[in-house]
Amino acid sequence: RWGRARGAARGRAERALTLSAPAQGGGSAVIDMENMDDTSGSSFEDMGEMHQRMKEEEEDEAAEGEAGAAEEEDGEFLGMKGLRGQLGRQVADQVWQVGKKQASRAFSLYANIDILRPYFDVEPVQVRTRLLESMIPVKMINFPQKIAGELYGPLMLVFTLVAILLHGMKTSDTIIREGTLMGTAIGTCFGYWLGVSSFIYFLAYLCNAQITMVQMLSLLGYGLFGHCITLFVTYNIHFHSLFYIFWLGVGGLSTLRMVAVLVSRTVGHTQRLILCGTLAALHMLFLLYLHFAYHKVVEGILDTLEGPNMPPFQRVARDIPVVSNAVLNTTAKAIALTL
C-alpha cells in the first residue's frame, strides 16, 4: 500500500499537483490506485515537489519518525530508499485525511435530515384542511392552483393505507407465498406513491406543466385519502355495489381534484389530455386493483342469510370471527333493501 502511494507520488506530475491542491481545501483528490507503477522512475520536478511538501510538514516528521523508520524496512523490501518511504507515508497520510474530510462532508450533506425539515413544517389544522380539500375539486382551472409542498400528510396517508391493506389482507383469503404480507403492502403503497409520482412528473416535464417533484408527491399523496376511506369502508362491509359506488364517488372526487389542479397548471389541450388522462386512469385503476387483488369477495355469505347457522369462511391462519362480518353484511343488505 505504501509502495503504491509512493508510485502515485512519483509517477505522475499532474497527480502530484492535485495532491497538493486539497491541502488548501480545493478540488478533489481522487487517486487512481489501480494504475500504480511501483517501479517508475522519478523526475527531478517530482523530487522538488516532494522536498517542498516535506518542508511544509516538518512538524509531523518528528512524530512520524518512528513510523518512517518502520516504513524503511518496507521501503527496502520494495527496493526504495528510506527517504522515499517517509515521503510515501506522508503522502498516504495526506490522502487519508483529505479523503476523510471529503467523506464526512458528503455524509453531513446527504445524511442530514435537516434537508427534509421544511417539508414537515405543518400544523395539525393545516393537515386537516388539506385532507378535506383533497376531496373537493376546484372550479377555477384557468388560474394555476397553489399546491403545498408538504410531505407529512402524504407520508402518513401512505402508512395508513399500508395498515388498511394489512387489515384487508388478513380478513380475506390472500395467501402470499413469496414475501411477507407486510412487505407486499409496504412495497405496493410506496411503489405506487413514488413510482406514479415520478412518472407523472416526467410526463409533466414533457407536457410543460408547472409542477415540481415535491408538489407532485404531495398532490398524489393527498389523493390517496380517498383510497383510504374507500378501502376502510369496503374491507369491513363486503358489498359489491357499495364498492363501486365508493369507487366512483370518493375515488372519482379525489381524482377530479388532482386532475383539476394539474389542468390549471398546464397549457394546451393535448398536453392537458395526456397528463390528466394518465393520472386519472392510474389512480382509479389502483383503487380497483387494491380492492380485487387483495380482497376476495365471499359471495356465499351474501347469498345465504342463514343466521347463526352460517357456514364458516374458508380462511387460513388468522381471521376475525364470522359473526361480526355476517352482522355487518346483513345490516348493509337490509339497509339497501329498505332503500
Partner 1 sequence: FAGLADVSISGEVPVEGEITVPVSSHAPDEDFSTLDEPVRDTIMRDLKAVGKKFIHVMYPKKSSALLRDWDLWGPLVLCVSLALMLQGGAADSKDDGGPQFAEVFVIIWFGAVVITLNSKLLGGTISFFQSLCVLGYCVLPLTVAMLVCRLVLLAGAGTISFIIRLIVVVAMFGWSTLASTAFLADSQPPNRKALVVYPIFLFYFVISWMILTFTPQ
By the rule CB under 8 A, 156 interacts with partner 1: yes
Query: What's the burial of 269, exposed, middle or buried (CB within 10 Å: 0-12/13-18/19+)?
Result: exposed
The smaller minimum CB distance to partner 1, of residues 146 and 318, is found at: 318
By the rule CB under 8 A, 159 interacts with partner 1: yes
By the rule CB under 8 A, 333 interacts with partner 1: no
Query: What's the burial of 257, exposed, middle or buried (CB within 10 Å: 0-12/13-18/19+)?
Result: buried
Stretch that binds partner 1, among 43-51, 191-199, 315-323, 331-339 (CB under 8 A): 315-323
The smaller minimum CB distance to partner 1, of residues 181 and 242, is found at: 181
- For the window 167-206, what string marks contact with partner 1 as x by the rule CB under 8 A? x--x---xxx---xxxx-----------------------
Q: From the list 18, 213, 319, 332, which residue makes contact with partner 1 (rule: CB under 8 A)?
A: 319
* CB 222, min distance to partner 1, A: 15
By the rule CB under 8 A, 213 interacts with partner 1: no
* CB 319, min distance to partner 1, A: 7
**Three cell numbers written together for 338:** 329498505
Q: Residues touching partner 1: how many (CB under 8 A)?
A: 33
By the rule CB under 8 A, 109 interacts with partner 1: no
- For the window 39-58, what string marks contact with partner 1 as x by the rule CB under 8 A? --------------------
Q: Which residues bind partner 1 (CB under 8 A)?
A: 113, 116-117, 119-124, 127, 152, 155-156, 159-160, 163, 166-167, 170, 174-176, 180-183, 316-321, 323
